[in-house]
Every structure is written in structure tokens, then in C-alpha cells.
Structure 1
Amino acid sequence: MKRARLASPLLLLAFQASAFGRGVSPYLPLTLEPEMEAQIERVLILGDKPVLTRPIPAATVLDALPKACKFDHALCEQVQRYLARYTHTSGLAHASVEGASTNGADTTLANRYGMANKSALAASADIYLQPSDYLL
């Protein structure tokens, strides 16, 4: 009885890694270019992954790639290059700098987060970081 109590938690700890999912998977756009859509469908067919629903998860295409690469290496390279834009772990989504010159009274501008009309510069940037599949 004592062994069973000790073995149960150890058994659960041993198999916990297989219980984790693969994290968040981006979906491919619904309106793909026709030639890229045909290439992705070809990869899924070669990888024995049926295309049942839209949008197609990028993880499904990534799962089918190793098997499809055995049959058509050039197709694999094209699809991998296309999928690279959806599987970044970090990046810069937007960056801008604005300059202005004004005259008149110094008033606060609407919908500009407290920026006054005498402010000569405004800068903004959006970055993203996903260090692992389990941290967003």
C-alpha cells in the first residue's frame, strides 16, 4: 500500500511532459494566395493530414512538413519560408515618429493620451515577445 502511494505521484511526474500541449498555434489567413494555398494543401496531403476545416492551424502544416519533405524538398522549402512569417518568437510590429509645428493656445488634444498641441514630437512602437510555447 505504501509503495502504491509513492509510485502514483512518481508515475504522474514521469508522464507530465506528454500532457502539455504545444502552446498557442497561429492560424493561416483564410484568404491565402491561390498558389500558396495549393502548396500548403499539397504538403498536408503528402503528410497524411487532411484539410477538414478553415482556417488551417500553422502547427498542422508544421507537423506535415517532415513527411512531405521526403517526397518534394522544393515544395517544403517554399512552405517553410511562407510559415516563417507566422512563427516568430519576437519582433517589431510598428514604429513611428511624428514631428509637428504649431501656434496658438496650448490645449490638450482629444484621443492623444494627454498630448498638448504644442508638443513637437510623438513616438510610438509595438513589440512582441513569446519566449516559449507556454508564455504568451
Structure 2
Amino acid sequence: MKRKSLEGNICPVARTLDLIGDWWSLLIIRDALEGISRFSDFEKSLEIAKNMLSTRLKGLVERDILRLAPASDGSAYKEYVLTEKGRALQTVIVALSQWGGEFMFEPGEAGSVMVDAQKGQPIRKLELRSADGRLLAPDDVATKRAIEY
């Protein structure tokens, strides 16, 4: 079954999922944020078939999430490097990690946590805040067409 494209949808969530909505793409982005840049290292980390990895990497490059660059060690290899657009997905990855840490593990079950690389302390839980700084609950958020602004 062919997947329906959400490219022209008016919802930014739908358009984003059209771009990076499969789990392999998000895991590749997670690994790239952790410093993985070579095909073989992605393959090893994700335990993904080469053809699947190749397809996902190609798509992320085509969508300007990753770019191919000469290897940083001067070898003949190419590396996959996050673009500004790709690095901006860090907040999404942190939000998924924090949600998963809170809801996807049993009490006492070992998992991972994202930390401040400099201090080694867990990152503060992401929060939604209004333009004036108020903390927003789910009921405090609505979606409106951008043309209304």
C-alpha cells in the first residue's frame, strides 16, 4: 500500500510527519544529534538493513535535514551531517525522550535520560509557555489558521 503524502496539508504537524514521521528517520536524527555521521555507524547503532538505511538517509538529505560532507578525518568516506533544519529537530527529540521516559517505562526499569553535556545534569522538562510567560496546559492551547494572525 502506498503511503499518502501530507505535503500540502494546512497542518504543520501533518507536514512535519510527512517529512520525518517514520521511526527510522527520527532515530537517525537522534543518532546524528549524538554525533554519529557515518553509514556504518548508523547501521550498527540502529541494527537496520542497509537498503532501509540508505533509503532513509537519501530522503533526509533530499529534504535538507542532513547533508553529505567529506569525512572529518580526511578519508575518502562521506559523512552525514545535520543541517540547521536538522539540528532544529533536537527539541522534538528531547520532547519524545522526556515523554517516553515518563510514560513508557515501569517503575525501576532502566532507561536513558538526556542531560546537559557540560554539567551532566538531566535537562529540565520542556514546557509550553504563552508569549507573556504563562505556563500552558493542554486545554490552554488551540489551533488557528495562520491567516488569522
Mark yes or no: TM-score above 0.5.
no
Which structure has the bigger radius of gyration?
Answer: 1
Higher normalized strand content (fraction of residues): 1
Pairwise TM-score range, normalised by the shorter structure: under 0.3
**TM-score using structure 2 length:** 0.22
**TM-score using structure 1 length:** 0.23
